[in-house]
Amino acid sequence: MSQLPLPASIDDTLQLMDQAGYVADRSLATVLHLALKMKRPLFLEGEAGVGKTEIAKVLSTTLGRDLIRLQCYEGLDVASAVYEWNYPAQMVEIRVAEAAGDTDHSELSKSIFDERFLIKRPVLQALEPSLSGAPVFLIDELDRADEAFEAFLLEVLADNQVSIPELGTIKAEEPPIVIITTNRTREIHDALKRRCLYHWVDYPDAERELEIVRRKVPGAAERLALEVVAFVQKLRADEDLFKQPGVAETLDWATALSELNEIALDPDMASDTLGVLLKYQDDIERVRGSKVRQMIDDIRKDVPQQPSMPAV
């Protein structure tokens, strides 16, 4: 993977995202350009399924950088995220040294705490030099991790380094491109946010969401794409749902209906496939049946009809 130059302007950043099929608005392109220019971590907050994680993947592809992903979860610790020692290999080294009569404990200690026994996890991997340039380091869903791990990250984000007691401080020659995502299930501490540039990734408007569907589900009929997007937009605006559908769910629904050879929204088929779009039974029950039919009727008043579209 060959390293490509960073975009020189906001317009170049927009074009870069567009080349990878990511339909970004100018505000996102602006903060992304600044994060790359200033070599600062980018903190992306927003609902699940709006495309936060995809931004890191797009950067990796378009800039020719390695993507290193740290998926956060409750109980994530240093051993899983940063490093741990290969204890079985260290024990073998000790046994071999003892068998050879090497009883110098000081030298043996230096030998077993050598980098060859170090198992490098994502954080440490992100700080290593690479022929393709500094990697894109994705810290995904940080809100799932504990506050203690969040505090640990402060050194990494502020100084691009980690401290290993047996080896000392390991510092990156070139700061990685850090993308942090959170679904806001809990608040992240201000100390971490201050080290980052911030951007809220919102649901796209109808025009941008339609363009996303056209690009990501090219096999979907134009009429189907229009009505799927209009339906989802109306759901988000009018219905008090426990969990609103994200762009990812819009794409899944358009794909599913396309696979079923639908060329427009059919009330019965839409009701039967709501589990692709909505992930909570209460939300599905709120919408299915007569509500779906009414919503389809409403959106067709605003979406121009095509002569070839069959009547429902």
Instruction: Tell me what pLDDT residue 305 has.
Output: 58
* Alpha-carbon gap, residue 59 to 138, rounded angstroms: 10
Q: Which residues of the chain have pLDDT under 50?
A: 307-312
Instruction: Tell me what pLDDT residue 257 has.
Output: 97
- Bridge-based pairing of strands 67-71 and 197-200 is unpaired
Instruction: Tell me what pLDDT residue 310 has.
Output: 41
Task: Return the closest-CA partner of residue 214 out of 226, 204, 202.
Answer: 226
- Residue 216 corresponds to which tokens in the numbers above? 């990501």
Instruction: Tell me what pLDDT residue 312 has.
Output: 36
- Residue 126 corresponds to which tokens in the numbers above? 């992100």
Task: Return the closest-CA partner of residue 173 out of 121, 139, 130, 137.
Answer: 130
Number of other CB atoms surrounding residue 289 within 10 Å: 13
pTM over 0.85: yes
* Alpha-carbon gap, residue 192 to 190, rounded angstroms: 5
Torsion angle of alpha carbons 111, 117, 121, 127, nearest 10°?
A: 50
Instruction: Tell me what pLDDT residue 51 has.
Output: 93
